[in-house]
A and B are shown apart, each in its own frame.
Chain A
Amino acid sequence: MDNTVSPLRMTSVNDRRRAAMTFALLGLAVAFACWSFLLGPSEVSPRDLFVGLFDGHGAAGVIAQQIRFPRTALALVIGAALGSSGAALQGLFCNPLASPDVTGVTSTAGLGAVLALYFGFAGSSVFALPGFAIAGALAAACILYLLSRNGAGAVALILAGVAIASLATALIALALSFAANPYAMSEMVLWMMGSLKDRTLSDLAFALPLTLAGLALLLTAARGLDALTLGEDAARSLGVDVTSVRGRVIVGVALATGAATAAAGSIGFVGLVVPHLLRPFCGYRPAQLILPSALGGAALVSAADVAVRLIAPDGQLLLGVVTAMLGAPFFLWLILRMKGER
């Protein structure tokens, strides 16, 4: 038996490191979720809250089940949706700047949600709002897919994302201009900013299954994304159905991002930032980043939602504003770094 340290044994070392990182992220997400659950204006003891979560009795039960739990769980779900979508899009386009918001997917999902509100569909069916948001996300993702197939490079894709986002924002502004009443207008504005305030169990009821479905699709495409790092011809020669991989990523991202945006509005930069933060620990293979990015996204959004309430307990600070304020400088730093590398 060969006793020398074979280079390939590093693979198992890397696998162990990735597994450790995945569990650490899971722990972080759970820790922030617990903090988020315990954080609020009502003075209820942690014990009463946890008991109330399961039995639903009394004020503590109502607070736990109707207010804290939906918010906490949605933060996890939305973070997972955005984190995994970002990792998958970056893998699909082989572009470190790709993410649901930078490519305009979040904006068109927001446009879908606003249109559902504007035309009153949102009131008629619980599926209308997420359905419109997913259709919007799908439209942007398909445009990007067609552009990438026609050889658009990293910069062209980002510029296309800017154009898509600008168009979506203009159409949202148009809808706001013609809003039927101030209440409808404020609701639409809230969707544009992104917030987890006043979310309900029904929001969670559609966001969770759609996100899980999207995440499952992304995970089935993971191996194909690895092969695509060698280029389309090499991937196809390795037996990968490239069209199917692209389709699964686009539908998966549309489902996850659409559900996240329908539930909480536009929460930017999570999908961009999380995969970058994790690459030094998890490596560059797209397949091995999707699940950790989902957990990292869940942890990050939960942490940001805790921060929002710690900084402004009166609820004046919105989650989307915080993620954008942190994410936009990071995006600029990434662009500067890419320029430096060239």
Chain B
Amino acid sequence: MSVAVDKVSVRYGARAALSEVSARFSAGAVTGIIGPNGAGKTTLLRAVLGLQPLAEGSIRILNKELAQWPRDGLARAAAYLPQGGEAKWPMLVEEVVMLGRLPHRPRFASPSAADLGAVREALERCDASQFAHRRMDELSAGERARVLFARALATGAPILLADEPAAFLDPAHQLRLMELLREEARRGGTVAVTLHDLPLAARHCDELVVLQQGRSAAEGDPAQALSDQALAEVFGVAALRVPDPQGGRDIVASFRRI
């Protein structure tokens, strides 16, 4: 198991953000983390990366306790794309993506051929090569999101944790993003992604972790985790499902409030 979260609790002051949450992110699979606003999705990802101290529980990454990972080692093992990330200076796109190589580069060293290759590949995979030497402030929100995703891919980490990467993307690029996540998984990577778009999650994730008010509400394959009962209890909605014309899983077409 690439990432094993065992009975993890996280508190912000007196408020419990996560309460005894357990989850597994497997190599070769795309795990979606879903839940209503404030359910603890981002906190779970931050906890896995060691960005959030645990009140209780334990996290193992690639069979090693989180606390035993050296800072650089963990950065090479797990890439993170934070929610709503932005480059705060209008740097060149290629410079932003090159930041993903920081864990691999000795201090004061120029980018190696491997770094340049990884950046080039990440840009190509995210369909962002054409604006590699444009400034970030010259791009649309969706283009910036693709660049930041390329930055996470450029790290070349076996684990990829992405927080709401589909926000700001048009439908075509949302699908391309999910394909990229699938490609990472197919290459043996471990992918965990928080998503608000339930149809997207249902269709493209292998496993889902459903959080509600900081607790695990459901876990399993999308059909299980997004059952009518789970949707009603966690999200307060009922789903209208239609058969997939291509013979895949039923597609969640829309919702209505219960």
Contact = CB atoms under 8 A, between A and B. Distances in A.
B72 to A, nearest CB: 4
A130 B21 CA distance: 54
A234 B108 CA distance: 20
Contacts of A10: 92, 94, 132-133
Contacts of A223: 102, 107-108
B100 interface: yes
Interface string B136-163: 0000000000001001000100000000
A234 B85 contact: yes
Contact of A238 (B87, B88, B99, B111): B99
A94 interface: yes
Interface in A248-306: 283-286
B204 interface: no
Contacts of B71: 239, 241
Interface residues of B, number: 45
Nearest to B81: A234
B75 A239 contact: yes
Contacts of A230: 82, 85-88, 96, 99, 148, 151
A338 to B, nearest CB: 13
Nearest to B148: A230
B80 interface: yes
Contacts of A227: 99, 102
B120 A238 contact: no
B237 interface: no
B99 A226 contact: yes
A240 B103 CA distance: 8
A7 B80 contact: no
A233 B87 contact: no
A186 interface: no
Nearest to A228: B88
Among B86, B91, B148, the one with the most A-chain Cβ atoms within 10 Å of its Cβ is B91
B51 interface: yes
Interface in B182-215: none
Nearest to B82: A233
Interface in B111-135: 111, 116, 119-120, 123, 129-130, 132-133, 135
A223 B120 CA distance: 21
Contacts of A228: 88
Contacts of B102: 223, 226-227, 238-240
B249 interface: no
B139 to A, nearest CB: 14
A92 to B, nearest CB: 11
B74 interface: yes
A231 interface: yes
A283 B92 contact: yes
B46 interface: yes
Given A8-B116, A11-B94, A238 B85 contact: no
A263 to B, nearest CB: 29
A286 B89 contact: yes
A238 B49 contact: no
A317 to B, nearest CB: 36
Contact of B120 (A6, A231, A233, A284): A6
A181 interface: no
B95 interface: yes
Contacts of A233: 46, 49, 51, 80, 82
Interface of A: 6-8, 10-11, 14-15, 94, 220, 223, 226-231, 233-234, 236-241, 283-286
20 contacts: A8-B94, A11-B95, A11-B98, A11-B116, A14-B92, A94-B89, A223-B102, A223-B107, A226-B99, A226-B102, A230-B86, A231-B85, A233-B49, A233-B80, A238-B102, A238-B155, A239-B74, A241-B71, A284-B91, A285-B95
Interface of B: 46, 49, 51, 71-72, 74-76, 78-82, 85-92, 94-96, 98-100, 102-103, 107-108, 110-111, 116, 119-120, 123, 129-130, 132-133, 135, 148, 151, 155
The 9 closest A-B pairs by CB, nearest first: A239-B75, A7-B132, A237-B80, A94-B88, A284-B89, A10-B133, A239-B72, A239-B103, A238-B102
Given A238-B155, A284-B89, 11 more contacts: A8-B116, A11-B111, A94-B88, A229-B99, A230-B87, A230-B99, A231-B85, A234-B81, A238-B103, A283-B95, A284-B91
